[in-house]
Amino acid sequence: MSLQGNPSIVFVHGLWADGSCFSKLIPTLQNEGFEVIASQHGLDSHAGDVDCVRRTLGRVSNPAILVGHSYGGSVITAAGIDPRVATLVYVAAFGPDADETTQSLQEKFPATDIFSHIEVADGRVWLTRDGVPSFAGDLSEEEQKLIWDCVEIQAELVHRS
């Protein structure tokens, strides 16, 4: 529970990630008296991810700061019209206008190395194993292995459904 007067914080992850990518920030913010939660959206569709963030807003007790990373910026832009949202924070994130999409914003810039390490299957864009260093090169080898393990678990769940 957050201290009276503090906004709640809802983290919104990007592609090839999940709410655990904020695990180093959440305890610090909680120790400072903030109520913090991370959305666990499925990355199946933008509309579905926005709906998940809206449901996550229902899990916090105060008006929320939505914090979006990467693709999560597009999600918080759409979810940010919810009256339970106090502020939007973009961390290396997309912030599309009403007539833009994440893809249309990406097309304005040269493609990064990550796009040579993806594959499209099962209606999704997947990160390949050799793409993890391009995606998370600033993380330790152990943390990069964990990212790959999460991608593999997600793939297994998609194949089961």
**Which pLDDT tens digit goes with each residue over 2-41?**
456 899 999 999 988 888 889 999 999 999 999 999 999 8
CB 10 within 8 A of CB 67: yes
Task: Enumerate the domain spans of the chain.
Answer: 1-108, 110-161
Cα dihedral 127/128/132/136 (nearest 10): -10
Q: Tokens 């493609």 — which residue?
A: 111
Does 157 have pLDDT greater than 80? Answer: no
Confidence of residue 111 (pLDDT cuts 50, 70, 90): confident
Does 156 have pLDDT greater than 80? Answer: no
Give the largest CA-CA distance in the chain: 48
pTM: 0.84
The identity of residue 116, as a single letter, is: S
Q: Give me the pLDDT at residue 16, please.
A: 82
Residues in CB range of 110: below 8 A, 6 or more apart: none
Of residues 86, 95, 45, the one with CA closest to residue 65: 86
Give the separation between CA 135 and CA 133, rounded to whole angstroms. 5
CB 17 within 8 A of CB 148: no
Match domain 1-108 to its CATH number in 3.40.50.300, 3.40.50.20, 3.40.50.1820, 3.30.70.260: 3.40.50.1820
